[in-house]
């Protein structure tokens, strides 16, 4: 099998790295897209709809809470044995978990054992995802000279996973009915295995290969010598996590469960927003080759603070035009920062600890947002109103994003 040399072709390296990420994200979002069917399969005896919603969101959040553990371990692997091997391992583990989810028995068949196994698989899945995207980001950053273009292609491919998940959700619901969730997980596992095969065609990055002193304990180096960068990295990714968790994953459930919109009403809007998301991410990343992207990040963080409440207010108006405008606003702003953060993070750490630094920053941010934002939104929606819950999460994320730019300095 021929290898793709990292320095030879920007597009090929970016697509091959990004395809794995796309397939992995497709697998991961299946849970939230099929949450209603999964609830019926594993939590059918729970009577309260409010408690059911909390349980579904909590299980979704568990995978994010364990991500930092995966980030610590896989980041350590990446800084010791190589970028390619570590982020190939993650997609293989992810595929196995998703396959087992798709074929496992339900509560009606084996009782309480079923939800316990399902939760354990979600935990392992979250562990694997802890090294997935950080590995792809670091690999592409260290492999090419036109980093803005390459990272833009790669992350646009990753977000295609969200779009693919939305499309497959519609198709599988129509074809398989109540068994659509099984078909989604099983098909997703095969796609993940294809991603693992694809990654075997990549070579190790030149920056890592020529590194003379590889760190055996990169976490200690980060804590002692680059601690401010590590804290800044966590805060920088908060807005990206808002985009990935609240906008891309939680929003469809919010539209259905709390605003009582039908899939026929909001699915086209969500799909259109996902397409816009991908285009904006690519364009913003491409711009980093030409502009001061740190200043643009600050502007977008401020916009998130200002426009979060108006956007969710528009989404709640139950008029197609206003709902779509609200979705576009709340998608566009964090999408720009998503196109910028990869380069900001990678250049904030030295090569010997870059994988660990990016993985820790990325995963702790997603653990905070993924682990608590949906739960906080659910509680605030229940206790205050449907607009206040998710909008206050957006405002807080914007504030933390502004703080991050005071901490991060370019090291490489």
**DSSP assignment of 288-351:** TTTS-HHHHHHHHHHHHHHHHHHHHHHHTT--HHHHHHHHHHHHHHHHHHHHHHHHHHHTTS-G
pLDDT tens, 125-155? 888 888 888 888 888 888 888 888 889 888 8
User: How do the pLDDT tens digits run along the chain, 412 residues long?
Assistant: 445 454 446 777 777 777 767 776 777 677 777 877 887 777 776 666 677 667 766 776 677 678 888 888 888 888 888 887 887 888 888 889 889 988 999 888 888 788 888 888 888 888 888 888 888 888 888 888 888 888 988 888 887 887 788 788 888 888 888 888 888 888 888 878 887 887 777 777 778 877 777 778 888 888 888 889 999 999 999 999 998 888 887 888 888 888 888 888 888 888 888 888 889 999 999 999 899 999 999 999 999 999 999 999 999 998 989 999 999 999 999 999 999 999 999 999 988 889 999 999 998 998 888 778 888 888 888 888 888 888 999 999 999 999 999 998 876 5
Instruction: Give the pLDDT of residue 185.
Output: 87
Burial classification of residue 322, based on how many CB atoms lie within 10 Å of its CB (0-12 exposed, 13-18 middle, 19 or more buried): middle
Closest to 248 in 3D by CA, of 281, 223, 224, 220: 281
Instruction: Give the pLDDT of residue 18.
Output: 77
Torsion of CA 390, 396, 402, 403, to 10 degrees: -150
Q: Structural domains in the chain?
A: 10-404 (1.20.1250.20)
pLDDT tens, 25-69? 777 677 777 877 887 777 776 666 677 667 766 776 677 678 888
Cβ contact 365:235 at 8 Å: yes
What pTM does this model have? 0.82
Closest to 209 in 3D by CA, of 305, 57, 308, 82: 82
Dist CA 356 CA 99 (whole Å): 29
Instruction: Give the pLDDT of residue 399.
Output: 96
CA gyration radius, the chain = 20
Instruction: Give the pLDDT of residue 91.
Output: 83
């Amino acid at each position: 099998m021929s290898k793709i040399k990292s320095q030879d072709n920007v597009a090929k390296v970016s697509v091959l790295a990004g395809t794995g990420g796309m397939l992995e994200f497709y697998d991961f979002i299946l849970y939230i897209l099929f949450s209603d069917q999964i609830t019926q399969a594993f939590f059918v005896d729970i009577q309260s709809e409010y408690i059911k919603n909390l349980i579904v969101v909590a299980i979704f959040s568990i995978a994010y809470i364990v991500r930092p553990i995966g980030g610590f371990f896989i980041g350590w692997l990446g800084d010791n044995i190589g970028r390619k091997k570590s982020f190939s391992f993650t997609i293989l583990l992810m595929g196995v978990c998703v396959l087992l989810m798709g074929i496992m028995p339900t509560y009606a068949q084996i009782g309480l054992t079923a939800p316990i196994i399902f939760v354990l698989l979600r935990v392992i899945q979250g562990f694997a995802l802890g090294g997935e995207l950080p590995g792809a980001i670091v690999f592409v950053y260290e492999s090419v000279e036109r980093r803005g273009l390459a990272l833009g292609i790669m992350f646009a491919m990753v977000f295609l996973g969200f779009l693919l998940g939305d499309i497959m959700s519609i198709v599988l619901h129509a074809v398989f009915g109540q068994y659509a969730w099984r078909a989604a997980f099983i098909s997703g596992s095969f796609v993940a295995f294809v991603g693992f095969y694809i990654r075997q065609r990549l070579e190790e990055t030149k920056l890592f290969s020529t590194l003379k002193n590889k760190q055996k304990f990169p976490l200690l180096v980060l804590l002692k010598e680059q601690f401010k960068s590590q804290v800044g990295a966590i805060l920088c990714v908060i807005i990206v996590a808002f985009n990935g968790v609240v906008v891309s994953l939680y929003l469809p459930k919010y539209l259905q469960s709390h605003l009582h919109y039908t899939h026929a009403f909001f699915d086209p809007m969500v799909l259109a927003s996902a397409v816009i998301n991908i285009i904006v991410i690519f364009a913003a990343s491409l711009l980093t080759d030409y502009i001061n992207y740190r200043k643009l990040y600050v502007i977008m963080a401020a916009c998130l603070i200002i426009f979060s409440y108006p956007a969710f207010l528009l989404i709640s108006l139950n008029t197609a035009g206003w709902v779509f405008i609200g979705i576009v606003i709340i998608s566009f702003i964090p999408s720009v920062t998503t196109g910028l953060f990869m380069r900001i993070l990678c250049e904030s750490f030295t090569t010997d600890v870059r994988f660990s630094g990016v993985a820790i920053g990325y995963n702790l941010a997603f653990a905070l947002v993924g682990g608590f934002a949906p739960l906080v939104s659910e509680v605030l929606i229940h206790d205050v109103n449907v607009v206040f819950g998710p909008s206050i999460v957006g405002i807080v994320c914007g504030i933390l994003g502004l703080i991050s730019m005071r901490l991060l300095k370019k090291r490489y």
